[in-house]
Structure 1
Amino acid sequence: MIRVSQQMLFTNYVSNMNSSLSQYMNLNMQAASQKRINKGSDDPAGIYQVYNHRETLSSIDQYRSNIGTAQGWLKQADDTILQMNTIVTRLKELAEQGSTGHLTDANREQISYEVREMYNQLITLANQRFEGKSIFAGHKTEESAFEAAMWMRGNDNTDLSNVDFKVEGDAPKTVVIQMLGSPAPSVSGDPVTLANGTRFRYSADGGKTFTDSTVTMSGSDFLLDMGGVRVTVADPTLAVPPQPPHTFTAVAENDTNDTSGSWMWVYPTARYMGDDKDAIEVDEFGAGGITGSASGVFNKNTLVRVDDYNGLDTITYSYSTDGGSTWKQNNTAPAQTTDTTALLTVPGGTLTLTMPTDVGTDLAGPFGQQFSIRPRTADISVDISSNESVVINGIGKDIFGGIYKDPSDTSPHLVFGDDREKNLFDTVGRLLSSLETNNQDGCQDALEHLRTSSEHLLNQVASYAGRENRLVVAKSVLTNLEYNEEERLSAVEDVDVTELMTKLAQQQIGYEAVLKSSSSIMKMSLMNFI
C-alpha cells in the first residue's frame, strides 16, 4: 500500500486541472483563429505542408504582380505602335499628294511642314515610357530609345554602299550636295576622286541657292563641312586591307537635273540609342591559339571546355550554363586530324573552333582550353509562372528602323540594310527630303516604302497582341492554381467548426468535472472523522 499524502493529492489536483485547462485553451485558440494548426507542435507534419502551400500562394501573388506589370508594358507598346501607324496612314496621304504631277515647288514645301511635325511626333512616340522606363530601348530603360539625327543618301549615280561615313549636326531643311570637278569649271560626267581639296557645293534651302566649298581633312578622314552639318568620310586607302579611293561623278555648275552627276541629300532620321541582340561574342582562354565563333539562339552565357582529343576523330568537351558551377561532361564532337575547324554542339546553338594549323596538331598538346559564349541580350523577361516567362520590352531599331552604331563598328549604318523599305524613320526622312527639294519621284518611292513600313508596324502589333493573350491565359491559370492551393491549405490547416464546437462542449464539461471532483476530495481529511 502507498500512503497518499496531502501534498500528493494537491499535486495531482493541480496537474489534472492544468491538463484539462490546457486542452480547453487549445480548443479555444482554434475557435478564435479557425485554424487547426497554430504552431509547429500542433502537427509537425502538417505545418510542413502548410508552409509549402503558403510559399506556393506567395509565388502566385508574385506571378500575378508580374503579369500586371507585363500587361502595362505591352499595352503601352501596343497602343504606341498603333498611334504611329495612324501617323503613317496620314503620311501616305501626303506622299500621294507629293507624287502628283500638278503640284508646284511651293505646294510640296507646304506639305513638308506637316511631314516634319509628324517626324518629330514619331520620335516622341518611339521614346514612350511606362512607369518611367523606356519601352523600346532594350535594357537601357533609363535612356531615350531614339534621338533626332541626319543621314545621307545619293542618286543613282552615287554609290554610297561601300562609303564609311557619319553625319553630325542638324539643319532646319534637307541639305543638297553636288560634287564638282577640278579644275573649275565642272564638266558633267567627269570623274571626281574624294580627296583633300576636292570641290563640292551645297544648298541648305532645298536646292534654291548653293554655296561652293572644298573637302578638308579631319585627322585621317575627309570632311565635308556645310555649316551646321558635317559629313565625315573615312579614307578607304587606309583600311586593312587598303581599298580603292571613292570616286564620284562631277556635276556642271549650272546643272539642276538631279539625275546627272553625283547628288547627295542629307536628310532627317532617328538614331537608335538602346542596345541590341544581334551578335554572339566568344572569348578564348588558353594558350592553344584556337579561336571560336558561335551561332544559334543563346539566352545566357555558356562556358565550353575542351577536355580531350583521341588523336583521330573525336573531341571530348564539357559545357556549363551556370557560370561554371556545374558542368555537363563527356560530350563528343567529330573531328578529322587534317581539319582546321571543329563543330561543338551546346544548348542554344553551336561553337565553331578554328585551329591555326589543324585539329591533329593544335589539339595534340595540353587540354583545358575554355571558351565563353556571350550573347548580347536586350530582352527584358518577367516570369509569369514557374516555367514560363514573357518578353515585355522592345528593340526600337528592329521596330522603327533609323540608324544604329553597332558596338563593333566605327560608324553607324542604316537598320535593315538593303531591306530599307521596313525602315520607318529612314522612309519618313526621305519623304521629307523629297518634299523639301521638290522631288516628285522621291515622293512616289517614299509612298511605296511607307506601305511596307506600315505592314512591318502591324506585324509588330500582332507580336505584342500575342504576348498580351498569353498573359490573359496565364492569369486564368494562376486563378485556378490559387483556388486549388487554398483548398489544399484549408484541408490541412483549417478546423472543422462543427467538430470543434462539440469538442469544446465536451472539454468544458470535463474541466468542470475536474474542478468539482477536486474540490470535493480536498474537503475530506482524517480530521473530519476525529
Structure 2
Amino acid sequence: MRVTNNMISDQVLSNLNRSLARFMNLEENMSSGRRINKPSDDPIGTQKDLRYRNVLSEIGQYKKNISSASNLLASYDNILGNMSDILSSARELAVSLSNDTFDANARDSASNEAQSLFEQIIELANSQVDSRYIFSGYRTGVKAFRAAAAGVIFQGDKGNIAVEIEAGSKVGINLIGSDILLGQLAPLGQNADFKAGIDGNTLLADLNLGAGVDLSAGTFQVTDNNTGLNVTIDITGAVTVDDALTLINNQLAAAGITNLTVDFGQEGNNLRWNAVDTGLITGATLLSNLNDGRGVDLTDGKITIHNADDSINVDVDLTAANDIGDVINAINTTLAAAGINNVTAAINAAGNGIDITDTNGVPLGLIIDEASATGSTAADLRILGEIDPTLPGGDLNPRMDFTVSEAAAGLTTAADLGLLGDFSLTKVGDGLTPIITETTPLTLLKNGLGLELGQVKISQGNRLVFLDLGNTAYSTVGDLMDAFNNSGLDINATINSSQTGLQIVSTSTTASMKIEEVDDGRTAHNLGIFGSTDMIGSLMILVDALKNDDREVIGQIIGNLDKGLQNVLNHRGAVGSKVIRMETTDSRLSDLQYNFTKMLSDVEDADLTKLVTDLAMQENSYQAALIAASKIIQPSLLNFLK
C-alpha cells in the first residue's frame, strides 16, 4: 500500500495529540492534587471515593450531634450539681433546727433561708439553653415549673429527645424535670403503725402480722403445778379469737382446772391468763410455792418429833424434799422406821395444810419442834406443836403455779397466742400484733383506744381538699381509704406493705402533693401520713415546719431530703455516664474519620513526587515529538498559499 504525505501527517498529528493529552492529564492531576478528577479516570476508585466520602459525611454529622449533646449534658451536670448543693444546705438546716437550741428569731431566719433554697431549686429547674427550657421535655418553649395555688405544677411533658451518635445508636440527652423534683420519694404512711387491738371477731389468721396461729396440730398444754393437773388444749377448730377463748376455757374446766381462765388483756392487743387463788395443795405442790412463794427453809431441813421426857426422839430429815408428797412420805417413813406406829402425816380435809394424827388408843404425847435453834422448817410447814391426838397444820398459802407449754417440739400454738410460760395468778400475754384490713374497726386502733381523728388538708398543684376523717360515718379502715380515694385528687390510699397502717401515694407526675394538719389538729400525724411524697412538696413542708417551730416534722423531713438528694445524684450520675459515652464515641469516630480520610486519600490523591517526575518526562517526550514531527512534515508552497 502506498503511504501518502497525508497519511504520514495524520499519524504524526494523532501521536502528538495523544502525547499532549497525556501531558495535559498529568498537568491536571498536578494542579488538583488528585489522581481521580472524573469517573473515567478510575471507575472502581470512583466508587470507593463516593463510599468513603459518604461515611465521612455521616461521621461529621455524628460528631456535630455529639458536640451539641455534650454541651447540653454539661449544662445538666452543672445544674444538678447546684441542686445537690441546695438540697445539702436544706438538709443541714433541717438537722440543725430539729433540736430546741435555737430561739424563735433563728427559726424565722431559717424559714426564710429554706424559702430561698426552694425558690433557687425552681429557678434552676426552669433553666434555659439556647432559649429552650431544658427540663420541659418536648415543650421547650414553656417553663418546666410554675407556682400554683396549692403547690407547684410541672408544665412540660415526658418527651425524650434523642440524638444519633453512631449508626443505629441513639442516646436520650434531656432530663424531665418532674422525674427529678416530683418523683415519688416514698409513700406517706409507708411505716405507719395504727397499733391495732384485738376483739372477739379478730381472725386468728390475722395475728402476728398475718403469720397467724399454728393450727397444724393446734394444741398446747396447761399444767397446774400445785394440783398436778395437766390438760392438752386443742383449738384446731378455732377461726376467731372468741373461738379460741371458748375452746380453751371449756377444756380447762372439763379437766378440773376450774380456777384458771383466759380472756382479753387490758393492753388491748393481747390475751391474759387469770387464776383464782384456791389455797389448795396436793402432794405435787412444790415447797417453793408455799407461804405465798416464800417457800420452806431447808437450810437445816430437819424437824424433831419427841415426847415430853424425850424417851421418844426422832429427827426427820427433809433436806431432800421437793414437794408436799416428799414431806409427808419422809415423816411417815421415818416414824415407821423408828417403831412409832399409828402416827401419820396427811393433807388435811380443807386441802390447805398438813395434819399429823396419832390414832393410838392412848396418844403418845408427841411434840414437833425444830431440830436446831436456828431452823424454821417446822414453822414454815405449819406443823410446829403438840400432836394431841392431832396437830392441825396451818394454812400453807400456796402460790398459784401454772405452766403453759407447747404440746410437742416444733409446735408454736401457745407462743402464737402469746400465752406461753410460767405464771402465778395473772399472766399478761404477749402482743398479738394483728394486721390492718379494710374491715378493721377504727375503735380497735391504738390498742383499742381509737385514734383521735379530725380534718386533714391535702394540696396537689392548684387543687386543695379538706377531708374530715372524724366523720361518724367512718367506722372502718376501709372507710378512711375510700375517703382519700374519692377526694377527687390524683392520690391512691392502700394498706401499707407491713399491713399496719394506711399509705398514700400521688398518682400525678405533674403536681406536688402535701398532706397537712388543719389548725392545731393531729390527725395526719396520728395516721402517720403527714408530709409530702415528692421533693418540691418536702421543701414546702420544711419551710412551714421551720416557721411553726414543728421539730417533729423537721426531723421527719430529713429522710425525704436524703432521698431527694440521692435522686438528684442518681440523675447526675446518669448524665456523667452519658458524657463518658459521648467522649468514648467521639474518640472512636475521630479514629474512624482519620482512617477513612486516609483511605480516601489513598484512592483519589495523586503521588506528587511521582507526578512531578512523570510530568517532566512527559513534557520532554512531547517536546521531542514536536521536533520530530517538524522534521517529518516539511512545509510546502501550498502551506504558505493557504
TM-score, reference length from structure 2: 0.45
- Cα deviation for residue 419 of structure 1 reads 13
Equivalent residue letter for 2:578: R
- Cα deviation for residue 523 of structure 1 reads 1.4
**Across the two proteins, how many residue pairs are aligned to each other?**
306
- Tell me which of 265, 275, 293 is aligned to 2:157: 275
Give me the whole-angstrom Cα distance separating, in 1, the residues matched to 2:156 and 2:36: 53
Equivalent residue letter for 1:501: V
**1:492 maps to which residue?**
603
Residue 566 of structure 2 corresponds to residue 455 of structure 1: yes
3-state DSSP of counterpart to 1:456: helix
Does the aligned pair in 1 maintain the 2:532–2:541 contact within 8 Å?
A: no
Give me the whole-angstrom Cα distance separating, in 2, the residues matched to 1:430 and 1:527: 114
Equivalent residue letter for 1:477: R
3-state DSSP of counterpart to 2:606: coil
Do the aligned partners of residues 17 and 404 (structure 1) sit closer, same or farther apart at CA in structure 2, a change above 3 Å counting? farther
3-state DSSP of counterpart to 2:75: helix
Matches within 5 A, 1:48-67: 48-67=47-66
3-state DSSP of counterpart to 2:26: helix
**2:164 maps to which residue?**
383
**2:173 maps to which residue?**
392
**2:4 maps to which residue?**
4
3-state DSSP of counterpart to 2:633: helix
Matches within 5 A, 1:32-47: 32-47=31-46
Does the aligned pair in 2 maintain the 1:136–1:145 contact within 8 Å?
A: yes
**2:26 maps to which residue?**
27
Does the aligned pair in 2 maintain the 1:422–1:456 contact within 8 Å?
A: no
Matches within 5 A, 1:154-165: none
3-state DSSP of counterpart to 1:58: helix
**2:114 maps to which residue?**
115
Give me the whole-angstrom Cα distance separating, in 2, the residues matched to 1:18 and 1:400: 80
3-state DSSP of counterpart to 1:52: helix
Do the aligned partners of residues 420 and 466 (structure 1) sit closer, same or farther apart at CA in structure 2, a change above 3 Å counting? farther
**1:523 maps to which residue?**
634
Equivalent residue letter for 2:37: N
- Cα deviation for residue 38 of structure 1 reads 0.9
Does the aligned pair in 2 maintain the 1:85–1:454 contact within 8 Å?
A: yes
Give me the whole-angstrom Cα distance separating, in 1, the residues matched to 2:602 and 2:8: 43
**1:446 maps to which residue?**
557
Give me the whole-angstrom Cα distance separating, in 1, the residues matched to 2:113 and 2:608: 73
Do the aligned partners of residues 484 and 72 (structure 1) sit closer, same or farther apart at CA in structure 2, a change above 3 Å counting? same
- Cα deviation for residue 422 of structure 1 reads 6.8
**Residue by residue, what CA displacement relative to the aligned partner does 1:71-105 show, whole Å, maximum 9, x if unpaired?**
11111111101101101111112212332224344
Equivalent residue letter for 1:143: V
Equivalent residue letter for 1:30: N
- Tell me which of 520, 544, 560 is aligned to 1:433: 544
- Cα deviation for residue 479 of structure 1 reads 1.1
**1:133 maps to which residue?**
132
Matches within 5 A, 1:498-513: 498-513=609-624
**1:83 maps to which residue?**
82
Equivalent residue letter for 1:4: T
Equivalent residue letter for 2:23: Y
Equivalent residue letter for 1:429: M
Give me the whole-angstrom Cα distance separating, in 1, the residues matched to 2:129 and 2:588: 26
- Cα deviation for residue 148 of structure 1 reads 1.7
Equivalent residue letter for 2:157: D
Once the two structures are overlaid, the 10-residue window that deviates more, 97-106 or 31-40, is 97-106
3-state DSSP of counterpart to 1:147: strand
3-state DSSP of counterpart to 1:383: strand
Give me the whole-angstrom Cα distance separating, in 2, the residues matched to 1:420 and 1:459: 23
Give me the whole-angstrom Cα distance separating, in 1, the residues matched to 2:616 and 2:2: 36
Do the aligned partners of residues 422 and 21 (structure 1) sit closer, same or farther apart at CA in structure 2, a change above 3 Å counting? farther
**Residue by residue, what CA displacement relative to the aligned partner does 1:103-127 show, whole Å, maximum 9, x if unpaired?**
3444322221111111111111011
Give me the whole-angstrom Cα distance separating, in 1, the residues matched to 2:593 and 2:489: 53
Once the two structures are overlaid, the 10-residue window that deviates more, 486-495 or 67-76, is 486-495
Equivalent residue letter for 2:53: R
**Residue by residue, what CA displacement relative to the aligned partner does 1:238-288 show, whole Å, maximum 9, x if unpaired?**
xxxxxxxxxxxxxxxxxxxxxxxxxxxxxxx42111112xxxxxxxxxxxx
Equivalent residue letter for 2:26: L
Give me the whole-angstrom Cα distance separating, in 1, the residues matched to 2:461 and 2:51: 49
Q: Identity of aligned pairs, percent?
A: 32
Unaligned stretches of 5+ in structure 2? Answer: 184-459, 463-487, 492-505, 514-528
Matches within 5 A, 1:182-221: none
Give me the whole-angstrom Cα distance separating, in 2, the residues matched to 1:54 and 1:394: 35
Give me the whole-angstrom Cα distance separating, in 2, the residues matched to 1:150 and 1:474: 47
Give me the whole-angstrom Cα distance separating, in 1, the residues matched to 2:609 and 2:110: 81
**1:478 maps to which residue?**
589
Does the aligned pair in 2 maintain the 1:434–1:443 contact within 8 Å?
A: yes
Do the aligned partners of residues 449 and 150 (structure 1) sit closer, same or farther apart at CA in structure 2, a change above 3 Å counting? farther
3-state DSSP of counterpart to 2:34: coil
**Residue by residue, what CA displacement relative to the aligned partner does 1:35-77 show, whole Å, maximum 9, x if unpaired?**
1001112112211110110111111111111111111111111
Once the two structures are overlaid, the 10-residue window that deviates more, 79-88 or 141-150, is 141-150
Equivalent residue letter for 1:19: R
Equivalent residue letter for 2:549: N
**Residue by residue, what CA displacement relative to the aligned partner does 1:382-423 show, whole Å, maximum 9, x if unpaired?**
011112221110111111117679xxxx86664578998772
Equivalent residue letter for 1:34: G
Does the aligned pair in 2 maintain the 1:421–1:452 contact within 8 Å?
A: no
Do the aligned partners of residues 421 and 461 (structure 1) sit closer, same or farther apart at CA in structure 2, a change above 3 Å counting? farther
**Residue by residue, what CA displacement relative to the aligned partner does 1:134-183 show, whole Å, maximum 9, x if unpaired?**
221111112111112343xxxxxxxxxxxxxxxxxxxxxxxxxxxxxxxx
Does the aligned pair in 2 maintain the 1:134–1:144 contact within 8 Å?
A: yes
Give me the whole-angstrom Cα distance separating, in 1, the residues matched to 2:22 and 2:638: 35
Matches within 5 A, 1:61-460: 61-151=60-150, 269-276=151-158, 378-401=159-182, 414=506, 423-460=534-571
Equivalent residue letter for 1:446: I
Does the aligned pair in 2 maintain the 1:148–1:270 contact within 8 Å?
A: yes
Do the aligned partners of residues 420 and 65 (structure 1) sit closer, same or farther apart at CA in structure 2, a change above 3 Å counting? farther
Does the aligned pair in 1 maintain the 2:148–2:461 contact within 8 Å?
A: no
TM-score, reference length from structure 1: 0.54
Does the aligned pair in 2 maintain the 1:70–1:392 contact within 8 Å?
A: yes
Equivalent residue letter for 2:545: S
Computing the radius of gyration over CA atoms, which structure comes out larger, 1 or 2?
Answer: 2
Equivalent residue letter for 2:613: T
Do the aligned partners of residues 137 and 412 (structure 1) sit closer, same or farther apart at CA in structure 2, a change above 3 Å counting? farther
- Cα deviation for residue 11 of structure 1 reads 3.9
